[in-house]
Amino acid sequence: MANQRKINYYQALKKSVLAITFLSTSLSLAACGGGSNPNASQENAQGLKLGSLVPTTGDLSSIGQNMPVAVQLAVDTINACGGVNENPVSLVSEDSQTDPSTGSNAMTKLAEVDKVAGVVGAFASSVSGSAVDVAVRNKVMLVSPGSTSPVFTQRASNGEFNGYWARTAPPDTYQAQALAALASKQGFKKISTVVINNDYGVGFEQQFVQAFEKSGGEILQKNNPVRYDPKAPTLDSEAKSAFGGKPDAVAAVLYAETGSVLLRSAFEQGLSDGVTVLLTDGVYSEDFIRQVGKTGDGKSIISGALGTVPGANGEALSEFTALWKEKTGKELTAFVPHSWDAAVLMMLAAEASDTNTGEGIQSNILEVANAPGTEVSDPCQAMDLVRQGGDINYQGASGNVDIDENGDVIGGYDVWQVNEDGSLAVIDNITPE
Protein backbone atom coordinates (compact mmCIF):
# COMPACT_ATOMS: atom_id res chain seq x y z
CA MET A 1 0.00 0.00 0.00
CA ALA A 2 2.85 2.33 0.91
CA ASN A 3 4.58 1.49 -2.39
CA GLN A 4 1.38 2.32 -4.31
CA ARG A 5 1.14 5.72 -2.59
CA LYS A 6 4.79 6.39 -3.53
CA ILE A 7 4.09 5.51 -7.18
CA ASN A 8 1.06 7.84 -7.25
CA TYR A 9 3.14 10.62 -5.66
CA TYR A 10 5.91 10.38 -8.28
CA GLN A 11 3.37 10.22 -11.16
CA ALA A 12 1.70 13.39 -9.90
CA LEU A 13 5.07 15.07 -9.44
CA LYS A 14 6.07 14.13 -13.00
CA LYS A 15 2.86 15.65 -14.42
CA SER A 16 3.44 18.88 -12.49
CA VAL A 17 7.00 19.18 -13.77
CA LEU A 18 5.86 18.60 -17.36
CA ALA A 19 3.11 21.20 -16.99
CA ILE A 20 5.52 23.79 -15.56
CA THR A 21 8.06 23.03 -18.32
CA PHE A 22 5.38 23.46 -21.05
CA LEU A 23 4.17 26.73 -19.53
CA SER A 24 7.71 28.04 -19.21
CA THR A 25 8.52 27.11 -22.82
CA SER A 26 5.33 28.75 -24.11
CA LEU A 27 6.05 31.97 -22.24
CA SER A 28 9.61 31.96 -23.54
CA LEU A 29 8.51 31.49 -27.13
CA ALA A 30 5.93 34.25 -26.81
CA ALA A 31 8.47 36.62 -25.29
CA CYS A 32 11.04 36.14 -28.06
CA GLY A 33 8.75 35.76 -31.05
CA GLY A 34 10.74 38.18 -33.20
CA GLY A 35 9.96 41.08 -30.86
CA SER A 36 6.32 40.94 -31.95
CA ASN A 37 3.01 41.28 -30.19
CA PRO A 38 2.22 37.83 -28.71
CA ASN A 39 -1.44 38.24 -29.65
CA ALA A 40 -0.45 38.68 -33.30
CA SER A 41 1.00 35.20 -33.85
CA GLN A 42 -2.31 33.43 -34.38
CA GLU A 43 -3.68 36.26 -36.57
CA ASN A 44 -0.50 36.40 -38.64
CA ALA A 45 -0.45 32.63 -39.15
CA GLN A 46 -3.77 32.98 -40.97
CA GLY A 47 -2.34 35.64 -43.29
CA LEU A 48 -3.52 39.14 -44.08
CA LYS A 49 -6.92 39.19 -45.77
CA LEU A 50 -7.95 42.19 -47.86
CA GLY A 51 -11.10 42.97 -49.81
CA SER A 52 -12.03 45.08 -52.81
CA LEU A 53 -15.39 46.78 -53.23
CA VAL A 54 -15.60 48.43 -56.65
CA PRO A 55 -18.14 48.55 -59.50
CA THR A 56 -17.69 45.84 -62.12
CA THR A 57 -21.35 46.30 -63.08
CA GLY A 58 -23.70 49.26 -62.87
CA ASP A 59 -23.41 52.94 -63.66
CA LEU A 60 -19.63 53.19 -63.15
CA SER A 61 -18.58 49.78 -64.42
CA SER A 62 -16.87 51.22 -67.50
CA ILE A 63 -14.26 52.71 -65.18
CA GLY A 64 -14.44 50.24 -62.32
CA GLN A 65 -13.74 46.97 -64.13
CA ASN A 66 -9.97 47.35 -64.03
CA MET A 67 -9.81 48.29 -60.36
CA PRO A 68 -10.00 44.78 -58.82
CA VAL A 69 -7.41 43.65 -61.38
CA ALA A 70 -5.04 46.32 -60.07
CA VAL A 71 -5.66 45.27 -56.46
CA GLN A 72 -5.02 41.62 -57.29
CA LEU A 73 -1.83 42.59 -59.10
CA ALA A 74 -0.64 44.43 -55.99
CA VAL A 75 -1.39 41.40 -53.82
CA ASP A 76 0.41 39.07 -56.25
CA THR A 77 3.42 41.41 -56.33
CA ILE A 78 3.76 41.50 -52.54
CA ASN A 79 3.22 37.75 -52.26
CA ALA A 80 6.01 37.17 -54.77
CA CYS A 81 8.42 39.02 -52.48
CA GLY A 82 7.51 37.33 -49.23
CA GLY A 83 3.96 38.39 -48.38
CA VAL A 84 3.03 40.23 -45.20
CA ASN A 85 4.10 39.13 -41.74
CA GLU A 86 5.68 36.01 -43.24
CA ASN A 87 2.47 34.76 -44.87
CA PRO A 88 0.71 35.22 -48.22
CA VAL A 89 -1.99 37.88 -48.56
CA SER A 90 -5.43 36.81 -49.80
CA LEU A 91 -8.07 38.92 -51.53
CA VAL A 92 -11.88 38.77 -51.56
CA SER A 93 -13.45 40.84 -54.36
CA GLU A 94 -17.00 42.18 -54.27
CA ASP A 95 -18.99 44.10 -56.90
CA SER A 96 -20.64 47.25 -55.51
CA GLN A 97 -22.83 47.49 -58.63
CA THR A 98 -22.59 51.29 -58.16
CA ASP A 99 -25.43 50.94 -55.67
CA PRO A 100 -25.25 52.12 -52.04
CA SER A 101 -27.49 49.35 -50.70
CA THR A 102 -25.62 46.62 -52.53
CA GLY A 103 -22.32 48.16 -51.49
CA SER A 104 -23.33 48.30 -47.84
CA ASN A 105 -24.36 44.64 -47.89
CA ALA A 106 -21.13 43.64 -49.61
CA MET A 107 -19.10 45.62 -47.07
CA THR A 108 -20.94 43.86 -44.25
CA LYS A 109 -20.06 40.50 -45.80
CA LEU A 110 -16.41 41.47 -46.18
CA ALA A 111 -16.16 42.72 -42.60
CA GLU A 112 -18.31 40.25 -40.68
CA VAL A 113 -18.18 37.04 -42.73
CA ASP A 114 -14.87 37.19 -44.60
CA LYS A 115 -13.17 39.00 -41.67
CA VAL A 116 -10.97 41.17 -43.88
CA ALA A 117 -8.62 43.68 -42.26
CA GLY A 118 -8.83 46.29 -45.02
CA VAL A 119 -10.82 47.06 -48.16
CA VAL A 120 -9.92 48.93 -51.34
CA GLY A 121 -13.11 50.80 -52.12
CA ALA A 122 -15.56 51.98 -52.78
CA PHE A 123 -15.48 54.04 -55.97
CA ALA A 124 -18.81 55.86 -56.06
CA SER A 125 -18.99 58.31 -53.17
CA SER A 126 -22.57 57.28 -52.51
CA VAL A 127 -21.41 53.69 -52.00
CA SER A 128 -18.47 54.69 -49.81
CA GLY A 129 -20.84 56.81 -47.73
CA SER A 130 -22.74 53.70 -46.68
CA ALA A 131 -19.78 51.31 -46.62
CA VAL A 132 -17.59 53.44 -44.37
CA ASP A 133 -19.99 53.18 -41.44
CA VAL A 134 -19.80 49.40 -41.65
CA ALA A 135 -16.01 49.58 -41.87
CA VAL A 136 -15.63 51.85 -38.85
CA ARG A 137 -18.01 49.76 -36.75
CA ASN A 138 -15.99 46.62 -37.49
CA LYS A 139 -12.54 48.32 -37.31
CA VAL A 140 -11.78 47.58 -40.97
CA MET A 141 -9.58 50.04 -42.86
CA LEU A 142 -11.32 51.44 -45.95
CA VAL A 143 -9.13 53.14 -48.58
CA SER A 144 -10.97 54.47 -51.62
CA PRO A 145 -9.21 54.86 -54.97
CA GLY A 146 -11.80 57.30 -56.27
CA SER A 147 -14.57 58.48 -53.92
CA THR A 148 -13.97 62.21 -54.22
CA SER A 149 -16.91 63.83 -52.41
CA PRO A 150 -15.89 66.63 -49.97
CA VAL A 151 -18.40 65.14 -47.51
CA PHE A 152 -15.77 62.64 -46.36
CA THR A 153 -13.37 65.41 -45.38
CA GLN A 154 -16.06 67.01 -43.24
CA ARG A 155 -17.08 63.73 -41.62
CA ALA A 156 -13.48 62.83 -40.91
CA SER A 157 -12.79 66.23 -39.33
CA ASN A 158 -15.84 65.65 -37.12
CA GLY A 159 -14.20 62.48 -35.82
CA GLU A 160 -16.73 60.06 -37.35
CA PHE A 161 -14.21 57.64 -38.90
CA ASN A 162 -11.66 57.11 -36.11
CA GLY A 163 -8.93 56.90 -38.72
CA TYR A 164 -10.50 53.96 -40.62
CA TRP A 165 -10.95 56.01 -43.82
CA ALA A 166 -8.50 57.30 -46.41
CA ARG A 167 -8.39 57.83 -50.17
CA THR A 168 -5.69 57.91 -52.80
CA ALA A 169 -7.58 60.30 -55.11
CA PRO A 170 -7.95 63.96 -54.07
CA PRO A 171 -11.39 65.24 -53.02
CA ASP A 172 -13.60 67.25 -55.34
CA THR A 173 -12.82 70.33 -53.30
CA TYR A 174 -9.78 70.47 -55.57
CA GLN A 175 -11.20 69.00 -58.77
CA ALA A 176 -14.13 71.43 -58.77
CA GLN A 177 -11.62 74.27 -58.54
CA ALA A 178 -9.63 72.71 -61.39
CA LEU A 179 -12.73 72.46 -63.61
CA ALA A 180 -13.67 76.05 -62.79
CA ALA A 181 -10.13 77.14 -63.66
CA LEU A 182 -10.42 75.25 -66.96
CA ALA A 183 -13.75 76.97 -67.71
CA SER A 184 -12.20 80.38 -67.08
CA LYS A 185 -9.19 79.50 -69.19
CA GLN A 186 -11.55 78.65 -72.06
CA GLY A 187 -13.18 82.08 -71.75
CA PHE A 188 -16.61 80.83 -70.66
CA LYS A 189 -18.70 83.50 -68.92
CA LYS A 190 -22.09 81.84 -68.44
CA ILE A 191 -22.36 78.21 -67.37
CA SER A 192 -25.20 75.89 -66.40
CA THR A 193 -24.77 72.82 -64.23
CA VAL A 194 -26.39 69.40 -64.18
CA VAL A 195 -25.35 66.76 -61.66
CA ILE A 196 -26.33 63.34 -60.41
CA ASN A 197 -28.29 63.77 -57.21
CA ASN A 198 -25.94 62.16 -54.69
CA ASP A 199 -23.00 63.15 -52.47
CA TYR A 200 -20.60 63.13 -55.41
CA GLY A 201 -22.69 65.25 -57.74
CA VAL A 202 -24.07 67.76 -55.28
CA GLY A 203 -20.77 68.19 -53.45
CA PHE A 204 -18.94 68.83 -56.72
CA GLU A 205 -21.61 71.24 -57.92
CA GLN A 206 -21.42 73.37 -54.79
CA GLN A 207 -17.65 73.62 -54.93
CA PHE A 208 -17.67 74.38 -58.68
CA VAL A 209 -20.26 77.14 -58.37
CA GLN A 210 -18.27 78.82 -55.62
CA ALA A 211 -14.99 78.61 -57.55
CA PHE A 212 -16.44 79.75 -60.90
CA GLU A 213 -18.24 82.73 -59.38
CA LYS A 214 -15.06 83.70 -57.55
CA SER A 215 -13.32 83.88 -60.94
CA GLY A 216 -16.03 86.26 -62.23
CA GLY A 217 -18.26 83.74 -64.00
CA GLU A 218 -22.05 83.44 -63.86
CA ILE A 219 -24.07 80.30 -63.02
CA LEU A 220 -27.33 80.57 -64.94
CA GLN A 221 -29.63 78.48 -62.74
CA LYS A 222 -27.87 78.91 -59.41
CA ASN A 223 -31.11 79.20 -57.43
CA ASN A 224 -32.69 76.21 -59.16
CA PRO A 225 -29.88 73.68 -59.77
CA VAL A 226 -30.53 70.72 -62.05
CA ARG A 227 -29.96 67.47 -60.15
CA TYR A 228 -31.11 64.26 -61.77
CA ASP A 229 -32.33 61.02 -60.24
CA PRO A 230 -30.32 58.12 -61.76
CA LYS A 231 -33.42 55.92 -61.52
CA ALA A 232 -35.71 58.33 -63.38
CA PRO A 233 -37.43 56.79 -66.45
CA THR A 234 -36.36 59.70 -68.69
CA LEU A 235 -34.06 62.69 -68.35
CA ASP A 236 -35.55 64.90 -71.05
CA SER A 237 -36.69 67.69 -68.73
CA GLU A 238 -33.34 67.76 -66.92
CA ALA A 239 -31.52 68.02 -70.25
CA LYS A 240 -33.79 70.88 -71.30
CA SER A 241 -33.27 72.74 -68.03
CA ALA A 242 -29.49 72.39 -68.17
CA PHE A 243 -28.95 73.23 -71.85
CA GLY A 244 -31.68 75.86 -72.18
CA GLY A 245 -30.86 79.50 -71.60
CA LYS A 246 -27.99 79.55 -74.09
CA PRO A 247 -25.05 78.84 -71.77
CA ASP A 248 -21.48 78.95 -73.04
CA ALA A 249 -20.96 75.55 -71.44
CA VAL A 250 -22.69 73.00 -69.24
CA ALA A 251 -20.74 71.56 -66.33
CA ALA A 252 -22.10 68.02 -66.16
CA VAL A 253 -21.19 65.84 -63.16
CA LEU A 254 -22.49 62.44 -64.26
CA TYR A 255 -22.23 58.69 -64.03
CA ALA A 256 -21.69 56.91 -67.31
CA GLU A 257 -24.90 54.99 -68.03
CA THR A 258 -27.39 57.61 -66.88
CA GLY A 259 -25.24 60.53 -67.98
CA SER A 260 -25.11 59.22 -71.54
CA VAL A 261 -28.92 59.20 -71.62
CA LEU A 262 -29.06 62.84 -70.50
CA LEU A 263 -26.51 64.09 -73.04
CA ARG A 264 -28.11 62.14 -75.87
CA SER A 265 -31.47 63.69 -74.94
CA ALA A 266 -29.98 67.19 -75.10
CA PHE A 267 -28.68 66.42 -78.60
CA GLU A 268 -31.97 64.93 -79.79
CA GLN A 269 -33.84 68.00 -78.54
CA GLY A 270 -31.46 70.22 -80.51
CA LEU A 271 -30.19 71.93 -77.38
CA SER A 272 -26.48 71.11 -77.45
CA ASP A 273 -25.39 72.92 -80.63
CA GLY A 274 -22.67 75.44 -79.81
CA VAL A 275 -22.56 74.41 -76.14
CA THR A 276 -19.37 72.91 -74.74
CA VAL A 277 -19.85 70.11 -72.25
CA LEU A 278 -17.53 70.11 -69.25
CA LEU A 279 -17.13 66.65 -67.72
CA THR A 280 -15.41 65.01 -64.78
CA ASP A 281 -13.72 61.79 -63.71
CA GLY A 282 -16.94 59.79 -63.41
CA VAL A 283 -17.26 59.48 -67.19
CA TYR A 284 -13.61 59.35 -68.27
CA SER A 285 -14.05 56.33 -70.51
CA GLU A 286 -14.40 55.70 -74.22
CA ASP A 287 -17.24 53.32 -73.37
CA PHE A 288 -19.17 56.32 -72.08
CA ILE A 289 -18.54 58.25 -75.30
CA ARG A 290 -19.88 55.29 -77.28
CA GLN A 291 -22.96 55.16 -75.05
CA VAL A 292 -23.72 58.82 -75.78
CA GLY A 293 -23.67 57.99 -79.48
CA LYS A 294 -22.78 59.58 -82.82
CA THR A 295 -24.28 62.13 -85.16
CA GLY A 296 -25.57 61.25 -88.60
CA ASP A 297 -22.15 61.87 -90.13
CA GLY A 298 -20.42 59.54 -87.69
CA LYS A 299 -18.97 62.06 -85.26
CA SER A 300 -19.30 61.85 -81.50
CA ILE A 301 -22.35 63.73 -80.22
CA ILE A 302 -20.16 65.39 -77.60
CA SER A 303 -17.13 66.02 -79.79
CA GLY A 304 -15.10 68.85 -78.30
CA ALA A 305 -16.23 68.18 -74.75
CA LEU A 306 -13.58 68.85 -72.11
CA GLY A 307 -13.06 67.21 -68.75
CA THR A 308 -10.84 66.80 -65.73
CA VAL A 309 -9.67 63.63 -64.04
CA PRO A 310 -7.23 63.09 -61.14
CA GLY A 311 -3.88 62.63 -62.80
CA ALA A 312 -1.33 59.96 -62.01
CA ASN A 313 2.17 61.35 -61.83
CA GLY A 314 3.88 59.36 -59.10
CA GLU A 315 7.50 58.26 -59.08
CA ALA A 316 6.39 54.66 -59.59
CA LEU A 317 4.06 55.37 -62.52
CA SER A 318 6.37 54.32 -65.36
CA GLU A 319 7.36 51.06 -63.64
CA PHE A 320 3.75 50.31 -62.76
CA THR A 321 2.57 51.08 -66.30
CA ALA A 322 5.10 48.60 -67.69
CA LEU A 323 4.05 45.96 -65.15
CA TRP A 324 0.37 46.53 -65.92
CA LYS A 325 0.88 46.08 -69.66
CA GLU A 326 3.04 43.00 -69.11
CA LYS A 327 0.55 41.27 -66.81
CA THR A 328 -2.76 42.36 -68.36
CA GLY A 329 -2.00 43.37 -71.94
CA LYS A 330 -4.22 46.43 -71.39
CA GLU A 331 -3.71 50.15 -71.55
CA LEU A 332 -3.64 51.91 -68.21
CA THR A 333 -7.02 53.47 -67.38
CA ALA A 334 -8.15 56.06 -64.86
CA PHE A 335 -7.93 55.19 -61.16
CA VAL A 336 -5.97 51.99 -61.75
CA PRO A 337 -2.79 53.50 -60.20
CA HIS A 338 -4.91 54.78 -57.29
CA SER A 339 -6.27 51.25 -56.71
CA TRP A 340 -2.76 49.78 -56.76
CA ASP A 341 -1.49 52.37 -54.26
CA ALA A 342 -4.44 51.81 -51.91
CA ALA A 343 -3.67 48.08 -51.72
CA VAL A 344 0.10 48.54 -51.37
CA LEU A 345 -0.31 51.08 -48.56
CA MET A 346 -2.50 48.73 -46.52
CA MET A 347 -0.08 45.84 -46.90
CA LEU A 348 2.86 48.02 -45.86
CA ALA A 349 0.89 49.28 -42.87
CA ALA A 350 0.03 45.74 -41.78
CA GLU A 351 3.70 44.75 -41.97
CA ALA A 352 4.70 47.86 -40.01
CA SER A 353 2.19 47.02 -37.28
CA ASP A 354 3.32 43.37 -37.12
CA THR A 355 -0.31 42.29 -37.11
CA ASN A 356 -2.87 41.41 -39.78
CA THR A 357 -5.75 43.44 -38.37
CA GLY A 358 -7.68 46.53 -39.30
CA GLU A 359 -6.46 48.19 -36.11
CA GLY A 360 -2.88 47.51 -37.18
CA ILE A 361 -3.40 49.00 -40.64
CA GLN A 362 -5.23 52.02 -39.23
CA SER A 363 -2.47 52.76 -36.73
CA ASN A 364 0.33 52.66 -39.31
CA ILE A 365 -1.02 53.77 -42.69
CA LEU A 366 -0.13 57.42 -42.18
CA GLU A 367 3.32 56.38 -40.96
CA VAL A 368 4.18 54.49 -44.17
CA ALA A 369 2.55 57.09 -46.46
CA ASN A 370 4.15 60.25 -45.13
CA ALA A 371 7.47 61.79 -44.18
CA PRO A 372 9.70 61.36 -42.31
CA GLY A 373 11.18 58.17 -43.67
CA THR A 374 13.08 56.81 -46.63
CA GLU A 375 11.32 57.69 -49.89
CA VAL A 376 10.73 54.44 -51.76
CA SER A 377 8.48 53.65 -54.72
CA ASP A 378 9.08 49.93 -55.33
CA PRO A 379 6.62 47.93 -53.15
CA CYS A 380 9.04 45.06 -52.50
CA GLN A 381 11.87 47.41 -51.55
CA ALA A 382 9.46 49.26 -49.29
CA MET A 383 8.40 45.99 -47.68
CA ASP A 384 12.02 44.97 -47.06
CA LEU A 385 12.73 48.27 -45.32
CA VAL A 386 9.68 47.89 -43.11
CA ARG A 387 10.65 44.32 -42.21
CA GLN A 388 14.02 45.63 -41.09
CA GLY A 389 12.32 48.13 -38.81
CA GLY A 390 12.95 51.15 -41.02
CA ASP A 391 10.71 54.18 -41.48
CA ILE A 392 9.46 54.74 -45.02
CA ASN A 393 7.66 57.40 -47.04
CA TYR A 394 5.95 55.43 -49.83
CA GLN A 395 5.89 57.19 -53.19
CA GLY A 396 3.11 55.69 -55.28
CA ALA A 397 2.14 55.35 -58.91
CA SER A 398 -0.76 57.78 -58.58
CA GLY A 399 1.31 60.36 -56.69
CA ASN A 400 3.24 60.80 -53.49
CA VAL A 401 0.11 59.71 -51.53
CA ASP A 402 0.83 61.99 -48.58
CA ILE A 403 -2.34 61.31 -46.59
CA ASP A 404 -3.45 63.92 -44.06
CA GLU A 405 -5.35 63.47 -40.80
CA ASN A 406 -8.68 63.51 -42.65
CA GLY A 407 -7.57 60.77 -45.04
CA ASP A 408 -7.12 63.18 -47.97
CA VAL A 409 -4.39 63.58 -50.56
CA ILE A 410 -3.68 66.53 -52.86
CA GLY A 411 -3.05 65.99 -56.56
CA GLY A 412 -3.07 67.56 -59.98
CA TYR A 413 -5.58 66.97 -62.76
CA ASP A 414 -5.34 65.94 -66.38
CA VAL A 415 -7.45 67.84 -68.88
CA TRP A 416 -9.01 65.53 -71.45
CA GLN A 417 -10.92 66.12 -74.65
CA VAL A 418 -13.40 64.11 -76.70
CA ASN A 419 -12.22 63.82 -80.32
CA GLU A 420 -14.57 63.64 -83.29
CA ASP A 421 -14.10 59.89 -83.63
CA GLY A 422 -15.04 59.35 -79.96
CA SER A 423 -11.50 58.77 -78.74
CA LEU A 424 -10.11 60.58 -75.70
CA ALA A 425 -6.92 62.59 -75.49
CA VAL A 426 -5.18 64.23 -72.55
CA ILE A 427 -4.34 67.72 -73.79
CA ASP A 428 -3.23 69.60 -70.69
CA ASN A 429 -2.96 69.46 -66.92
CA ILE A 430 -4.13 71.87 -64.31
CA THR A 431 -3.47 72.25 -60.60
CA PRO A 432 -5.94 74.11 -58.37
CA GLU A 433 -4.61 76.92 -56.23
Residue 30 forms part of a structural domain: no
Are both 243 and 197 inside the same structural domain? yes
pLDDT band, residue 7 (cuts 50/70/90): very low
CA distance 272 to 395: 43
**Average pLDDT of the segment spanning 226-255:** 96
On the question of pLDDT at 215 being above 80, the answer is yes
H-helix or E-strand spanning residue 376 = strand 374-376
Indicate whether 406 belongs to any domain.
no
Please state, as a whole number, how many other Cβ atoms lie within 10 Å of the Cβ of residue 155. Answer: 18
The mean pLDDT of 366-370, rounded to a whole number, is: 98
Q: State residue 412's pLDDT score.
A: 83
**Would you state the pLDDT for residue 132?**
98
Query: Does pLDDT of 239 surpass 60?
Result: yes
What pLDDT score was predicted for residue 42?
59
Confidence of residue 432 (pLDDT cuts 50, 70, 90): confident
Residues 358, 218 share a domain:
no
Asked whether residue 33 carries a pLDDT value surpassing 50, the answer given is no
- pTM value surpassing 0.85: no
Asked if 379 contacts 390 with a C-beta cutoff of 8 angstroms, the reply is no
pLDDT at 6 over 70: no
Q: Which residues contact 296 (CB under 8 A, 6 or more apart)?
A: none
Predicted pLDDT of residue 46: 83
Mean pLDDT within 288-306: 97
Pair (240, 375) in one structural domain: no
Residues 148 and 64 in one domain: yes
Structural domain containing residue 132:
42-170+316-394
pLDDT of residue 41: 56
Q: Are residues 119 and 184 in the same domain?
A: no
Q: What average pLDDT does the chain have?
A: 90
**Does residue 12 lie within any of the structural domains?**
no
Residues 194 and 124 in one domain: no
State the Cα–Cα distance between residues 104 and 134, nearest whole angstrom.
7
Same domain, 106 and 138: yes
Task: Yes or no: say if 183 and 216 are a contact pair by the CB < 8 Å rule.
Answer: no
The confidence band for 15, taking pLDDT boundaries of 50, 70 and 90, is very low
**Dihedral, CA atoms, 160, 161, 167, 171, nearest 10 degrees?**
0
Is the Cα dihedral 74, 79, 85, 90 positive or negative?
positive
pLDDT in the model for residue 433: 66
Cβ(86)–Cβ(109) below 8 Å: no
Question: Are both 158 and 277 inside the same structural domain?
Answer: no
Residue 1 lies in a domain: no
**Residue 27 belongs to a domain:** no
Average pLDDT over residues 372-385: 98
**CA dihedral over 153, 231, 310, 143, signed as positive or negative:** positive
Question: 68 and 187 share a domain?
Answer: no
Residue 276 lies in a domain: yes
Q: DSSP readout, 224-253?
A: S-EEE-TT-S--HHHHHHHHTT--SEEEEE
Segment 215-225 shows an average pLDDT of 95
* CA–CA dist 281, 350 (Å, integer): 30
Specify if 26 maps to a domain.
Answer: no
Q: How far apart are the C-alpha atoms of 95 and 92, rounded to whole Å?
A: 10
Tell me: do 308 and 279 sit in the same domain. Answer: yes
pLDDT, tens digit, 9 for 90 and up, residues 164-213: 999 999 998 899 999 999 999 999 999 999 999 998 999 999 999 999 99
CA 266 to chain centroid:
32
For residue 43, the model assigns a pLDDT of: 59
**pLDDT tier at 388, thresholds 50, 70, 90:** very high
State how many domains the chain has. 2
Report if residue 402 sits inside a domain.
no
Percent of the chain with pLDDT over 70: 89
- Secondary structure class of 160 (helix, strand, coil): coil
CA distance linking residue 64 with residue 285, whole number of Å: 10
Of the candidates 44, 255, 49, 54, the residue with the CA atom closest to the CA atom of residue 143: 54
Closest CA to 404 of 204, 165, 176: 165
Q: Are residues 203 and 258 in the same domain?
A: yes
**Whether residues 200 and 304 fall in one domain:** yes
Contact in structure between 340 and 360 (CB atoms under 8 Å): no
| CATH number reported for the structural domain that contains residue 347 in this entry | 3.40.50.2300
